[in-house]
């Protein structure tokens, strides 16, 4: 491992100040960053430990939502009574990820910023534009089982691997960010992660030294929520595809629809036209087939992941049937 310096920040301004440099990284739970440092995939000059920051609470917001501090662990978030009652899709998505031990350490901010699981990103003997810009992409034409079917570029076809952010995208949550000199901004989760384009090294919109301080959930819609993750093993495996849904029903029609998809793009995938198509309609298999056609119109397999297109169609149908109480068939 490359030598690095270490600073422990006492508060948010100090953390931001200490981290203002191109090769400075925050460390929260360390469950992703330390693995990457041991492999020398990431080699920061300086680590800024944020674990003493006062960002460990889940509190109620004035508009009836919840504010989840960036250092709330995945275990505490999933177990919170208010989240289990009003945002079960979030609780289920978190519990579908990693393992109990990892979730006890993993934090809300760190989970959002976790890096891709592309095999070549982890293998420093292989070219990878995300790890080393301009070196090439070994995945294109290589092993692509985990890779993207939406939004890939000729520079990178990797996926964002997390579950939590997919549920947060369906819930239309927002990320609170603090930067230099106390400057703060709020970014919808749906816009937080980037598509790779010609800068696959940039996973999200954070600038150097910017710190996530919280994620805010809007007031619950009262809809029926569901998270379905399809993976190679029942636990300890990343999503091949996943679907998060928040669906409201009124007078036999869909009154509210918000869907997001994991394992299929460089970011949690959200297609507003799909939500619009479903809203105001009576649920039926014909409607769900139309929704899948719309979602998959721009899907592009990479060879080894072509199966994801049919898998996503079937998973979407199963989730919609469940959420609209039509019965669960795959």
Residues of the shown chain interacting with ligand FAD in the complex, contacts defined by CB under 6 A: 25-33, 35, 50, 70, 97-98, 102, 105-107, 109-111, 113-114, 162-164, 211-212, 236, 238
Does the footprint of ligand SF4 cover residue 156 (CB under 6 A)? yes
Q: What is the DSSP string of 2-36?
A: ---EEEE-SSHHHHHHHT-STTEEEESS-TTHHHH
d(CA 305, CA 330): 20
Does the footprint of ligand SF4 cover residue 158 (CB under 6 A)? yes
d(CA 11, CA 61): 22
Nearest distance, CB of residue 159 and ligand FAD, angstroms:
11
Does the footprint of ligand SF4 cover residue 118 (CB under 6 A)? yes
Q: What is the DSSP string of 49-111?
A: E-TTSS---EEE-TTS-EEEETT-BHHHHHH-HHHHHH-HHHHHHHHTSS-HHHHHH-BHHHH
d(CA 301, CA 145): 10
Kindly state the helix (H) or strand (E) to which residue 202 belongs, with its residue range.
none
Nearest distance, CB of residue 282 and ligand FAD, angstroms:
35
d(CA 177, CA 165): 16
- Counting beta carbons within 10 angstroms of the beta carbon of residue 101, is it exposed (0 to 12), middle (13 to 18) or buried (19 or more)? exposed
Nearest distance, CB of residue 212 and ligand SF4, angstroms:
22
Give whichever of 203 and 246 is closer to ligand SF4, judged by the CB atom. Answer: 203
Q: Which one of the spans 5-13, 137-145, 203-211, 220-228 is the region binding ligand SF4 (CB under 6 A)?
A: 137-145
Nearest distance, CB of residue 66 and ligand SF4, angstroms:
33
Does the footprint of ligand SF4 cover residue 137 (CB under 6 A)? yes
Radius of gyration of the chain (CA): 20
Residue 194 structure tokens: 């980037």
Q: Which one of the spans 136-144, 234-242, 247-255, 300-308 is the region binding ligand SF4 (CB under 6 A)?
A: 136-144
For ligand SF4, which residue of 26, 87, 121, 160 counts as binding (CB under 6 A)? 121
Does the footprint of ligand SF4 cover residue 130 (CB under 6 A)? yes
For ligand SF4, which residue of 58, 93, 113, 139 counts as binding (CB under 6 A)? 139
Q: Which one of the spans 35-43, 65-73, 127-135, 320-328 is the region binding ligand SF4 (CB under 6 A)?
A: 127-135
From ligand SF4, ligand FAD, none, interface partner of 111 (C-beta below 5 to 8 A by class): ligand FAD
Kindly state the helix (H) or strand (E) to which residue 217 belongs, with its residue range.
strand 211-217
Residues 6+ apart with CB under 8 A from 204: 112, 113, 192, 193, 194
Task: Please report, as residue ranges, which positions from 167 to 206 form the binding site for ligand SF4 (by CB under 6 A).
Answer: 200
Give whichever of 157 and 211 is closer to ligand SF4, judged by the CB atom. Answer: 157
CA 165 to chain centroid: 3
Nearest distance, CB of residue 11 and ligand FAD, angstroms:
13
Nearest distance, CB of residue 69 and ligand FAD, angstroms:
9
Nearest distance, CB of residue 152 and ligand SF4, angstroms:
8
Residues 6+ apart with CB under 8 A from 195: 151, 153, 265, 266, 267
Nearest distance, CB of residue 23 and ligand FAD, angstroms:
11
For ligand SF4, which residue of 48, 77, 97, 120 counts as binding (CB under 6 A)? 120
Q: What angle do CA 229, 270, 281 make, to 5 degrees?
A: 95
For ligand SF4, the binding residues (CB under 6 A) are 116, 118, 120-121, 128-130, 137-139, 156-158, 200
């Amino acid at each position: 491992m490359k030598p690095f310096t270490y600073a422990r920040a006492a508060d948010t301004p100090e953390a931001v100040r200490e981290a203002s440099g191109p090769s400075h990284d925050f460390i929260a739970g360390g469950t992703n960053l330390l693995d990457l440092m041991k492999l020398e995939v990431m080699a920061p000059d300086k680590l800024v430990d944020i674990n003493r920051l006062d960002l460990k609470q889940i509190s109620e917001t004035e508009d009836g939502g919840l504010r989840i501090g960036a250092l709330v662990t995945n275990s505490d978030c999933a177990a919170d009574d208010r989240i289990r009652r009003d945002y079960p899709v979030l609780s289920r998505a978190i519990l579908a990820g990693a393992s109990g031990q990892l979730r006890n350490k993993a934090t809300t901010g760190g989970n959002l910023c976790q890096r891709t699981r592309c095999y070549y990103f982890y293998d420093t003997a292989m070219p990878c534009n995300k790890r080393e810009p301009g070196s090439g992409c070994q995945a294109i034409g290589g092993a692509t089982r985990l890779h993207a079917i939406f939004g890939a570029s000729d520079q990178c076809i990797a996926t964002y691997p997390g579950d939590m952010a997919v549920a947060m995208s369906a819930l239309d949550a927002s990320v609170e960010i603090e930067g230099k000199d106390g400057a703060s901004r709020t970014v919808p989760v749906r816009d937080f992660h980037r598509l790779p384009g010609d800068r696959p090294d940039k996973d999200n919109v954070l600038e150097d030294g910017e710190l996530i301080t919280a994620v805010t959930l809007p007031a619950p819609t009262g809809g029926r929520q569901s998270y379905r993750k399809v993976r190679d093993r029942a636990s300890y495996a990343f999503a091949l595809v996943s679907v998060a849904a928040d669906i409201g029903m009124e007078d036999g029609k869909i009154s509210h629809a918000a869907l997001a998809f994991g394992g299929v793009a460089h970011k949690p995938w959200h297609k507003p036209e799909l939500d619009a198509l479903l809203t105001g309609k009576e649920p039926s298999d014909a409607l769900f087939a139309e929704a899948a056609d719309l979602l998959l119109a721009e899907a592009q397999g990479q060879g080894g992941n072509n199966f994801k297109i049919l898998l996503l169609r079937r998973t979407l149908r199963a989730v919609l049937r469940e959420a609209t109480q039509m019965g669960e068939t795959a």
